[in-house]
Amino acid sequence: MKTFEQYETEIIKVIEANNLFVISDIFAFYTGIKSSQFYNLKLEKSDNLLKSIDDNKKKTCQSLKSKWYKSDNATLQIALFKTISSESDLRKLSQTWQNIDGDINLKNDVSKIFPKELD
């Protein structure tokens, strides 16, 4: 039987070679371990595996953003804008944005809604 470290090393190679983004995809590409054994060994908590998956996500996001930046497609440009802009820039772009600040105090004080002058 292989050690935790051996499985970890092999699985990281599979993650990098197949550009995997989630742990469950590992089992489609790596047949050297069953899912139950994977979780019994607590490989899903391996910092090295999680870092490898996270690195793939970051590289892919950056690659997509670069493509969107070079594109003439307005939809892709808006998607890029939304991923890189500040909250105030997003408010300017949004047509449905509403600012809700403060405390909401709901009381059954009918006198404020219906003053006595209306009686």
pLDDT tens-digit map of 9-40: 999 999 999 999 999 999 999 999 999 999 99
CA angle 29, 57, 40 (to 5 degrees): 50
pLDDT tens column, 40-66: 999 999 999 999 999 999 999 999 999
Sign of dihedral through CA atoms 7, 9, 14, 20?
Answer: positive
Structure confidence at residue 108 (pLDDT): 60
One-letter amino acid identity for 93?
L
CA–CA gap between residue 93 and residue 97 (Å, rounded): 9
CA–CA gap between residue 81 and residue 97 (Å, rounded): 16
For the entire predicted model, the pTM comes to 0.68
